[in-house]
């Protein structure tokens, strides 16, 4: 992982921590789900909220990634927001998540937003698996930094 991917200060002025680029968009009658997916600016965003049951999260992950592929907006850019997560995944689970991403996407950038030491450490472990699977991975302390990195032109462009 290069220095830029580790969270060098990159900013997007219009993205604020209290007003995220990817706000939760749920109908009023629907309770918040532990893992929510939406897209903005060609970026697929997964936001973990509280405890995420692994099987349910895996299904949401697969469905969201398939939606991203169907959009045909390449290169693929995915943001994982862990700032409201209460999960504690095992190494085997993180490896499985990386494999699940690889089964749907054959390339792309993955940005993880982690504002707690535990999630930063888990993100580093996940990034090792994802980089081995061929993805460019960045870990950031804020969504603004992650989005700026995801939207930067790729070396292949």
Residues 6+ apart with CB under 8 A from 72: none
Give 11-48 pLDDT, tens digit per residue.
Answer: 233 333 334 555 555 444 445 568 999 998 899 999 99
Q: Is the CATH number 3.40.50.720 carried by domain 4-10+32-151?
A: no
Assigned token pair, 19:
């007003």
Record the pTM. 0.78
Cα atoms found within 13 Å of the Cα of residue 4, Cβ hemisphere only: 10
Share of the chain above pLDDT 70, in %: 78
pLDDT at residue number 112: 96
Residues of the chain with pLDDT under 70: 1-33, 156-157
pLDDT of residue 118: 87
Strand segments, DSSP code E, in 51-117 are 77-85, 109-113
């Amino acid at each position: 992982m290069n220095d830029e991917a580790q969270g060098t200060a990159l900013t997007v002025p219009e993205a604020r921590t209290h007003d995220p680029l990817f706000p939760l968009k749920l109908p009023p009658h629907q309770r918040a789900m532990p893992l929510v997916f939406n897209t903005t600016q060609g970026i697929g965003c997964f936001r973990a909220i509280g405890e995420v049951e692994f099987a349910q999260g895996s299904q949401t992950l697969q469905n969201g990634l398939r939606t991203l592929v169907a959009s045909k907006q390449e290169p693929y850019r995915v943001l994982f927001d862990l700032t409201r997560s209460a999960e504690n995944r095992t190494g085997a689970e993180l490896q499985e998540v990386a494999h699940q991403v690889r089964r749907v996407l054959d390339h792309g950038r993955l940005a993880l937003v982690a504002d707690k030491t535990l999630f930063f450490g888990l993100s580093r472990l996940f990034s090792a698996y994802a980089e081995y699977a061929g993805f460019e991975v960045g870990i950031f302390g804020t969504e603004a930094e992650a989005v700026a990195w995801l939207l930067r032109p790729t070396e292949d462009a």
